[in-house]
Structure 1
Amino acid sequence: MGGVVESSNEPILSGRARRLRLAVNGIVQGVGFRPYVYRLATSLGLSGSIRNTASGVLIEVQAETPLLLERFVQELGSEAPPLAEIFSVVADEIPAQSGNGFVILSSDDGEDVETLIPPDIALCDDCRSELLDPLDRRYRYAFINCTNCGPRFSIVERLPYDRPLTSMKGFTMCEKCGREYGNPLDRRFHAQPNACPDCGPALQLLDAGGEPINAPDPLSLALQKLKDGDIVAVKGVGGFHLAVDATDQSAVMNLRERKGRERKPFAVMARSLGSAEKVAQVSDEERVALRSLQAPVVLMHKKASASLLAPDVAPANDRIGLMLPYSPLHVLMMEEGPEFLVMTSANSSEEPIALENDEAVSRLQGIADYFLVHNRPIHLRCDDSVTMVMSGALRQIRRGRGYAPLPVLLSSDGPSVLAAGGEMKNTVCVLQGSQALLSQHIGDLKNYVAYEHFQQVAEHMQHIFQVRPEAIISDMHPSYLSTQWAQNQSDIPVLHVQHHHAHLVSCLAENRFDGQAVGIILDGTGYGTDGTVWGGEVLIGDASGFFRFASLEPVRMPGGDRAALFPWKAAAGYLFHTYGHIPEIAAFEGCFVEGIADLLARQVNAPPASSCGRLFDAVSALCGLCREISYEGQAAIELMHAAGIAEGKPFAWEVVSAGSDRWHLSVAPMVQDIVTALGSAMSVSDISRRFHVTIVKMFSDIALRACRFSGLTSVALSGGVFQNPLVFEGLVSDLQLHGIEVLTHSQVPSNDGGLSLGQAVIGRHWVKTGCACRRSDA
């Protein structure tokens, strides 16, 4: 835990009865920081006080010798609670006061907010031991917590983080809990969700219609229903999960049918690390992630023994998403129930997870057989985080519980702005000083419930952090609901930022990289400054602007956005672009090829796109893997898993001039090679392996050309395609072999979940300089 100690006075040198005031900013509320400081001050024999403020914590310490004060400051962060993180300490000497002892004072909510809210975190070992101890008064109590664990972000209504300002305000502590809460030497001192079976939240089981079931032990009955093959909606920390026994194929298929989730893999909760290792190849980095305080879902390679799980938990996928139980309720479920449970977000289609009991019963009618609920309100829904280890580091795929709203520290500060994110995988970002505060994953704003959630989060982020944005930043796409929302905010300037420029700057900002860099930005779609769809881009720039050095050659996509849902149509577009007609392909049997060819020939409803995502879709369809998707990215994912590894001779491609020092990457030679390979009966696995090698070599070569052109030696990788480890790890390795500094994402997703960070940093530059972004993309 680090920090910056500043002083506005002369150093303490000598004398008696000296007093310091320390203003501490960081993650210092709701994490046991005050009792830690109390114990430290008391052990050194110091007098003074500590209190929460809306700016962090304010400490006053007094000693007879300056050496004791200096020791206090030095040790302030050395043994702090695991969740505490100090960003800055400002020290001032003030007049000494009379009085003995060190006290913890009540909070002050009269200042602007500069402090941070800790995320929801996993059950600590101490609470777990008590939970499973038959002699403990909280034995099997599903809401056990202390200052080192439990819900935080999802229950906070506003700062300071005190019980009356959380969703626990309706529960009055019993005498025993009150004593713990008020004792600075107890690990439950000021643990705001503190409770026990006598005074806290309680479980209840409801039937499919939402009617209470009279059961002395709702949890045991719910677990029996799971063992019987039923679907149980479980209210967790940030919303509801839908749970079934992950070893029961019939139950898994029933869940898929009812939820309308045909092929997308389900997340699985495993009883223990040992259980996870039965079905997945767990690396050291993955083991650390699984057991971390954040307890995310980790995408890992399956073992052959993954057959312990139902086949349709993760079909056509060589990875499995696993997490360990992170709440006391989950621990009890996994200790007493099946060893593996599907734990998927409780929603249908692309809706956000259900939040409260009545909402869950209403929205999950026809899906859940039973509802295991409780009466602790969730103030803000927060999905599980999804992660994957690539190139030796944990990468965010979906940033939610455990990470949000931890800040991304920027290299400089400036005016506050709010960024509205994109349309898919939406997040909201506010900049406050040198901190970028990203919301949890919100989702696809084309869904009305998700759009309502977006509006709530945008308001909540401004309210809870007391941010008064000087500008609102959005994507350039005029049809995005986030863009339209931004335009409707009165009296605040709005800046529209090009999608791939925001991706580039997001990666630079996360790495605190202030100079220009070459950016390889690969994704499915983004509105270009020329009005066409971009997605396979090589940019040169920074927050002030960009130059579009190269891109995939635009290819017409029949049906426009519809081609993303039907990969065979994307394939038809690439074939027509390559041959001037659509040759016979075995994978197209039964498809209405003639009509698509007519659209392409007449250039009707077939806009051009330089999308790398559509190229992956096209190759997947040509290989007969995926002609129609049931979830976003399915075609590319199944193509990746058909490869397993990237190896072999690359297919051909060409670099052709697009004028004015710009270049197009022509993939027509690649398409010809793939069609020839299919005709020669080359295996789909070999085609996929060579295709991935081609993508790596093609973009490595053009990036090196961009470096030579610009004189730069740093390349940033961003966009959803970089969730593909074959592309990501291959490109990182290839560029590094050429002496290139490669900048990558780890704190925020490379997909559109990190878009709002880049938007916000570009917007701040605009506010500071008064200049619109420079861009050259002719």
Structure 2
Amino acid sequence: MKQQGWQIRVRGQVQGVGFRPFVWQLAQAQGLRGTVSNDAEGVLIRVLGAPDDLVAALKAEAPPLARVDAVEVTVAVFEAPPKGFEIIASGGPGAETRVTPDAATCPECLAEIRGEGRRRGYAFTNCTHCGPRFTILQSLPYDRARTTMAPFEMCPDCRAEYENPGDRRFHAQPIACPICGPRLWLEVGGAEVPGDAIALAVARLQAGEVLAIKGLGGFHLACDAANPRAVAELRARKRRPAKPFALMCREADLDRIVTVSPAALAALKEPAAPIVLMPARDALPASVAPGMAELGVMLPYTPLHHLLLDAFQGVLVMTSGNLSGEPQVVGNDEAREKLAPFADAFVMHDRTIARRLDDSVLRVDPPMVLRRARGQVPGTLPLPPGFEDAPQVVAYGGQMKAALCLIKNGQALLGHHLGALDEALTWEAFVQADADYAALFDHAPQAVAVDLHPDFRASRHGAERAAREGLRLIEVQHHHAHLAAVMGENQWPREGGKVVGIILDGLGLGPDGTVWGGELLLGDYAGFARCAWLKPAPLIGGDRAQMEPWRNALVRLDAAGLSGWADALFPNAPREIARAMVAKGLNAPPSSSAGRLFDAVAACLGLCPDRQSYEGEAAMRLEALAGRAEAGQAPRLRLSGAGEEIDPAPLFQALAQGGDPAGLAFAVHDALAEAFAARARTLIAQGTAQAVALSGGVFQNALMLQLMVEKLAGCAILKHQPLPANDGALALGQALVAVAKLEE
């Protein structure tokens, strides 16, 4: 006998988070009959009985890792009335739902590995509230058979937990125990060393050795952070002389090594368990983060890490396991081949990593994401008002800090951080991610968006795909994409009016064929106008100018009438050859780059003038130096004029006069912020722009962001927070611009 009931569709991050047992428990408590299942669109509930209380609870009481985007209720007809409430098998494959990011070990599982039960000391303990998700997922819907846990057949005890709706491991797809799950071992020279892997690893770390440790999204290289010889050895082996190392420690050790604010502690303890930048104390060797005022620290986020830190009782360097410039190593054989020159021993396990994910990095004061990866992806963002019916679009981002973006069903899925695409293996990872996301989310784009620069590998890839599949190709200017990205992240409506964008970064090709990077733009999603910019200076040697700060200093000093000082500062540099290149216009394209301007200032103050050992080193050291300025003691510098070109010559004339380096570094930041903010305030006051948007990699500089916000007081400000200001969010902006242009 047919009977009318209700169908409830729950959309969002609702698979792999214990949502179905949560619904089952609610139904039992409310006396409802029906079913709940996963399918391609999320969670589907069919019930007899009044659904109001159930719907309210779905929104208000969802499990900790769940994110409910929508609950839709429609009438349903039952051919035969159900006798109770059941959790039934998932529907067919497909991808309209959100995939859950990997989550740090929950308190209940942590208590188990430290307790006396059958999972004591087990490095792969997890439940529906924690554990691997995206790093083991191979296809949707999220079921064990579609993860890299499929080869591990559950033992009777795990099966009983898995099938018990009242257990927190009900349908926990990575469920495991020492009897049936992945195993951990330590090996040296390709041979397993008998004994407890954790105890063996700790003994080697305490002896000053470097270990390669397989984690969630790849391998780390680890050593004792308090042992300067071990840190120096790791730097020598990895040929990484100065780039700051990430650290991992127990919560109890935090206060000893960094100044921890409540906001920073809360961020550390989030399920994403990111690296958080915090002010350093003097407890560790300076070689951990040379020249930096902050340390990047994360808490243990897997049972393996907790067991290791519990036994080690100290602070570990925990840096990505990779060759310089290459993506993080994920496979056991790959690790043996590539990390053998770095590591004295390997901590291995036999659970396959489906996709590599670096650790996410953020700062809480001011709040910003620097690298969006493990624990933060593949979450989706709602599109701004006016984009609800946007067609499917794929955007491929830029050349550096690559990440791609898919638009579908009113949502934007911004992919994880991949790195610089000029490295062959990073490029392979990019191509794999493109196919991976397309398959995982069943994506069929109508258009492809790329950067305007035709030589970016992502741009060529997008153009080839568009030609191959007959899709429309839309080229988006780099800084317009930055502007659109920060607008979209802040839900700026499509018809919300024009915004003035202060876009400061390293480089991006302008429509005029020159290299941009210090820009004031007025625009919206559909278009923009360039209102002001840093006075261009030649990039001597093209790309070499990005790594050798003296080149940028030389041209800025020459332009400011300070050639003699340049000769004194850089006596061993090939200055005359460089000047001849400028005079002849030979491999010296003009650029308004704010990033290269900061490099020039850093070189004048003696900060790695000859060569940077990693991207952004000079600017990061300059920011750290400026942070040491005495309050109110820095000189006040101002750039004259209110025209289109912002000439930084007065800054270099002030540097030449000498003074406290920290005060001068601060004054340069302050003067540049005022020069751009003043012009933006004028456009706001005139009613030409409705808000100010801040984007580009320079706004990862906390001091620059803070000064700019202060100088824009009273203006509506759009800035990045859940997404990075650097090129990691570029693809989102490209995708939104593409939609706007498609629908013009």
On whether the aligned pair clears a TM of 0.5, the verdict is yes
- d(CA) in 2 for partners of 1:372 and 1:655? 61
Whether the 8 Å contact between 1:617 and 1:636 is mirrored in structure 2 is yes
| 1:42 CA displacement | 0.7
- d(CA) in 1 for partners of 2:639 and 2:306? 53
**1:74-118 superposed Cα distances (whole Å, 9 cap, x missing partner):** 2222221111111112211223542311000100115x4210100
Q: State yes or no: 1:472 paired with 2:448.
A: yes
Q: 1:676-715 maps to which residues of 2 (within 5 A)?
A: 676=657, 678=658, 682-708=659-685, 711-715=688-692
- d(CA) in 2 for partners of 1:481 and 1:199? 44
Q: 1:315-394 maps to which residues of 2 (within 5 A)?
A: 315-391=290-366, 394=367
- Cα distance, 1:373–1:51 mapped onto 2, change above 3 Å: same
Q: State yes or no: 1:270 paired with 2:249.
A: yes
Q: State yes or no: 1:130 paired with 2:112.
A: yes
* 1:150 aligned residue (121, 131, 136): 131
Residue 5 of structure 1 is matched in structure 2 by none
Residue 625 of structure 2 is matched in structure 1 by 642
- d(CA) in 2 for partners of 1:707 and 1:643? 29
Q: 1:498-647 maps to which residues of 2 (within 5 A)?
A: 498-514=477-493, 515=496, 516-579=498-561, 581=563, 583-584=565-566, 586-627=568-609, 628-644=611-627
Whether the 8 Å contact between 1:717 and 1:743 is mirrored in structure 2 is yes
Residue 369 of structure 2 is matched in structure 1 by 396
Residue 162 of structure 2 is matched in structure 1 by 181
Whether the 8 Å contact between 1:204 and 1:212 is mirrored in structure 2 is no
| 1:338 CA displacement | 4.2
Whether the 8 Å contact between 1:556 and 1:577 is mirrored in structure 2 is no
Q: State yes or no: 1:27 paired with 2:13.
A: yes
* Deviating more after overlay: 101-110 vs 142-151: 101-110
Whether the 8 Å contact between 1:576 and 1:600 is mirrored in structure 2 is no
* TM-score, scaled relative to structure 2: 0.96
| 1:598 CA displacement | 2.3
Whether the 8 Å contact between 1:423 and 1:481 is mirrored in structure 2 is yes
Residue 53 of structure 1 is matched in structure 2 by 39
Q: State yes or no: 1:106 paired with 2:92.
A: no
Residue 258 of structure 1 is matched in structure 2 by 237
Aligned partner letter, 2:29: S
Whether the 8 Å contact between 1:652 and 1:673 is mirrored in structure 2 is no
| 1:581 CA displacement | 4.2
Whether the 8 Å contact between 1:533 and 1:610 is mirrored in structure 2 is yes
- Cα distance, 1:645–1:542 mapped onto 2, change above 3 Å: farther
**1:700-754 superposed Cα distances (whole Å, 9 cap, x missing partner):** 1121133345522310100010011111011112202xx2011111111000111
Residue 460 of structure 2 is matched in structure 1 by 484
Q: State yes or no: 1:436 paired with 2:412.
A: yes
- Cα distance, 1:620–1:194 mapped onto 2, change above 3 Å: same
**1:250-276 superposed Cα distances (whole Å, 9 cap, x missing partner):** 11011111111110100000122x311
- d(CA) in 2 for partners of 1:299 and 1:192? 33
Aligned partner letter, 1:206: E
Aligned partner letter, 2:86: V
SS of the residue 2:737 aligns to: helix
Whether the 8 Å contact between 1:231 and 1:369 is mirrored in structure 2 is yes
Aligned partner letter, 1:408: L
**1:560-614 superposed Cα distances (whole Å, 9 cap, x missing partner):** 2211110011000111222284544543132222222222233322211000001
Q: State yes or no: 1:288 paired with 2:288.
A: no
**RMSD after superposition:** 1.5
**1:527-550 superposed Cα distances (whole Å, 9 cap, x missing partner):** 111111100000011110001111
* 2:275 aligned residue (294, 297, 307): 297
Whether the 8 Å contact between 2:3 and 2:81 is mirrored in structure 1 is no
Whether the 8 Å contact between 1:218 and 1:372 is mirrored in structure 2 is yes
- d(CA) in 1 for partners of 2:169 and 2:140? 19
Residue 423 of structure 1 is matched in structure 2 by 399
- d(CA) in 2 for partners of 1:557 and 1:713? 35
* Deviating more after overlay: 572-581 vs 371-380: 572-581
- d(CA) in 2 for partners of 1:642 and 1:431? 41
Aligned partner letter, 1:602: K
SS of the residue 2:174 aligns to: coil
Aligned partner letter, 2:617: Q
- d(CA) in 1 for partners of 2:602 and 2:720? 26
- d(CA) in 2 for partners of 1:142 and 1:222? 13
SS of the residue 1:488 aligns to: helix
Whether the 8 Å contact between 1:28 and 1:57 is mirrored in structure 2 is yes
- d(CA) in 2 for partners of 1:36 and 1:189? 10
* 1:249 aligned residue (219, 225, 228): 228
Aligned partner letter, 1:488: E
- d(CA) in 1 for partners of 2:667 and 2:104? 42
Q: State yes or no: 1:236 paired with 2:215.
A: yes
Whether the 8 Å contact between 2:638 and 2:675 is mirrored in structure 1 is no
SS of the residue 1:299 aligns to: strand
| 1:349 CA displacement | 1.3
- d(CA) in 2 for partners of 1:587 and 1:215? 58
- d(CA) in 1 for partners of 2:363 and 2:334? 32
SS of the residue 1:388 aligns to: strand
Whether the 8 Å contact between 2:562 and 2:653 is mirrored in structure 1 is no
- d(CA) in 2 for partners of 1:85 and 1:557? 47
Aligned partner letter, 2:210: I
* Deviating more after overlay: 471-480 vs 380-389: 471-480
Q: Structure 1 stretches of 5 or more lacking a match?
A: 1-15, 658-662, 770-778
SS of the residue 2:192 aligns to: coil
Aligned partner letter, 2:270: S
Whether the 8 Å contact between 1:656 and 1:666 is mirrored in structure 2 is no
- d(CA) in 2 for partners of 1:387 and 1:580? 39
* 2:196 aligned residue (217, 232, 247): 217
Aligned residues with identical type, % of pairs? 42
Aligned partner letter, 1:62: L
- d(CA) in 2 for partners of 1:530 and 1:338? 58
**1:384-433 superposed Cα distances (whole Å, 9 cap, x missing partner):** 00000133xx3110000110111122123211111111111111110112
- d(CA) in 2 for partners of 1:99 and 1:347? 55
Whether the 8 Å contact between 1:260 and 1:348 is mirrored in structure 2 is no
- d(CA) in 2 for partners of 1:482 and 1:655? 39
* 1:74 aligned residue (56, 65, 73): 56
| 1:378 CA displacement | 0.4
- Cα distance, 1:441–1:584 mapped onto 2, change above 3 Å: closer
Whether the 8 Å contact between 2:565 and 2:656 is mirrored in structure 1 is no
| 1:71 CA displacement | 1.3
* Deviating more after overlay: 122-131 vs 407-416: 407-416
